[in-house]
A and B are shown apart, each in its own frame.
Chain A
Amino acid sequence: QKEVEQDPGPLSVPEGAIVSLNCTYSNSAFQYFMWYRQYSRKGPELLMYTYSSGNKEDGRFTAQVDKSSKYISLFIRDSQPSDSATYLCAMLSASGSRLTFGEGTQLTVNP
């Protein structure tokens, strides 16, 4: 069983929709939770990161972490065609130096 599970999609939504991307994990030692965005034929770039449980908002993006359920989410409000990319969740334990990535969810926002 993978440490981090992520629905690979693909996910296709109309412009303006609210998008929900999710990951579950099994390692209770994970303390840092990240979302990376990867455009086609590019390297991933950090989009959001949170420490422990709670919510974090940045513009149209909201990251949620529920450690009791071992579940994290990324919400995108008012989605735009420029949000079309693959979104990868990633996690790190407090003592770790290596990220564990989910498989990535491919999102397409249609104009």
Chain B
Amino acid sequence: NAGVTQTPKFRVLKTGQSMTLLCAQDMNHEYMYWYRQDPGMGLRLIHYSVGEGTTAKGEVPDGYNVSRLKKQNFLLGLESAAPSQTSVYFCASSWTSGGTNKETQYFGPGTRLLVL
């Protein structure tokens, strides 16, 4: 049982390049989330999904897109990277119907992104 995994662990991009961050969970969770963590700002929600095929905007969605084509995967895309998107990105998942509580989120190890 791997829990929540993220790919890649670290990436360097040039301004204007695109990339996709992959999050996978093997806990059959319904809800998945993408956060960014910056010094002095804490964890901020970018986008989230309450089930396969659904997505919703969080606190800081601009410049990012997401897709949840399969229940176990949640992809975060940067179409045109900017230096302001340099951050550590965390994926999380929660809630199995009849199982864990919604408030218990399980986090991945993070992806460190540097945009030059």
Give A residues with C-beta under 8 Å from B: 6, 8, 32, 34, 41-46, 49, 88, 90, 92, 97-99, 101-104
Contact = CB atoms under 8 A, between A and B. Distances in A.
Contacts of B90: 43-44
B110 A102 contact: no
Interface of B: 4, 31, 33, 40-45, 48, 50, 58, 90, 92, 101-110
A97 B101 CA distance: 11
Contacts of A34: 103-104
B105 A104 contact: no
Contact of A44 (B43, B48, B101): B43
Nearest to A104: B42
A99 B45 CA distance: 8
A42 B109 contact: yes
B62 to A, nearest CB: 17
B93 to A, nearest CB: 11
A98 B103 contact: no
A101 B58 CA distance: 13
